[in-house]
């Protein structure tokens, strides 16, 4: 619309019917179309390549946990279980996605470091107990323990709004051990690793496929609009 208005104005000013602006427009459109089709072809090739990748074998979560419906498409918790009258939710991220380079230099190390956010809630309590943990194939370490309002519980809390608890390492050793026992008793240990690792793989694969599709259709859009 704006282009049309400008073109009309330019022609009127020049007092000529020479459609020079149209020619200029068509020229620049042709150039970007060439880049667009290169990009679209490249996106399509990679998309196909990735869609042909064989998924890893399906891993089930430890039997006491169930997978939360729709977790693959959201940012919320992945696993849930009840323990007495408590509800335990588990969210997961890769450490490298939170702290750039946080996984170290080694690619394998990086992929084998997960970040867990565990919430323990009780029906009659307004706050829930939060554990931020590092999860490795053969170990689980607690980073922090804090109390947070239940409303904040959904999803991953990278930037908590309240007190994040004491530095875990500064706590008395006995207290650290008992806190470890506390989450261990609720089924939070290294046995979650293989399921969560496979789950993240599926999620990342889906995100990547979606990225190729959405970037592709965004770039394709003006062409489609013109054809309509």
Ligand X SMILES: *[C@@H]1O[C@H](CO)[C@@H](O)[C@H](O)[C@H]1NC(C)=O
Question: What residues line the site for ligand X (CB under 6 A)?
Answer: 62, 68, 76-77, 80, 87, 89, 119, 121, 128, 150, 153-154, 187, 189-191
- Measured CA distances, 92 to 7, 72, 113 (Å): 55, 11, 10
* Cβ-proximal residue to ligand X, closest one: 153
Nearest to 99 by CA among 113, 78, 118, 117: 113
Nearest distance in Å: CB 188, ligand X: 8
CA distance 105 to 208: 23
CA distance 225 to 228: 5
Rg (CA), the chain: 26
Nearest distance in Å: CB 61, ligand X: 11
Nearest distance in Å: CB 52, ligand X: 33
Nearest distance in Å: CB 206, ligand X: 18
Nearest distance in Å: CB 202, ligand X: 18
In the complex with ligand X, the residue whose CB is nearer, 112 or 121, is 121
In the complex with ligand X, the residue whose CB is nearer, 61 or 187, is 187
Type and span of the H or E element at 52: none
Q: Are the beta carbons of 69 and 80 closer than 8 angstroms? A: no
Q: Which residues contact 50 (CB under 8 A, 6 or more apart)?
A: 205, 208, 209, 212
Phi first, then psi: what are they for 123, rounded to 5°? -55, -35
In the complex with ligand X, the residue whose CB is nearer, 65 or 212, is 65
In the complex with ligand X, the residue whose CB is nearer, 191 or 214, is 191
In the complex with ligand X, the residue whose CB is nearer, 113 or 121, is 121
């Amino acid at each position: 619309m704006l282009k049309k208005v400008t073109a009309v104005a330019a022609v009127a000013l020049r007092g000529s019917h020479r459609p020079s602006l149209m020619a200029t427009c068509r020229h620049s459109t042709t150039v970007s179309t060439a880049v667009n089709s290169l990009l679209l072809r490249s996106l399509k090739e990679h998309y196909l390549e990735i869609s042909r990748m064989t998924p890893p074998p399906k891993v089930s979560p430890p039997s006491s946990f169930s997978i939360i419906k729709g977790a693959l498409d959201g940012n919320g918790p992945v696993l849930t279980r009840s323990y007495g009258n408590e509800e335990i939710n588990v969210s997961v991220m890769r450490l490298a996605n939170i702290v750039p380079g946080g996984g170290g230099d080694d690619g394998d190390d990086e992929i084998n470091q997960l970040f867990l956010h565990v919430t323990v809630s009780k029906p009659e309590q307004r706050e829930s107990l939060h554990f931020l943990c590092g999860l490795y194939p053969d170990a689980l370490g607690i980073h922090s323990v804090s109390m947070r309002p239940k409303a904040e519980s959904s999803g991953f809390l990278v930037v908590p709004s309240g007190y994040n608890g004491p530095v875990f390492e500064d706590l008395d050793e006995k207290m650290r051990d008992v806190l470890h026992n506390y989450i261990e008793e609720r089924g939070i240990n290294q046995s979650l690793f293989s399921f969560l690792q496979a789950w993240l793989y599926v999620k990342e694969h889906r995100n990547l496929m979606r990225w190729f599709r959405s970037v592709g259709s965004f770039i394709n859009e003006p062409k489609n609009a013109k054809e309509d």
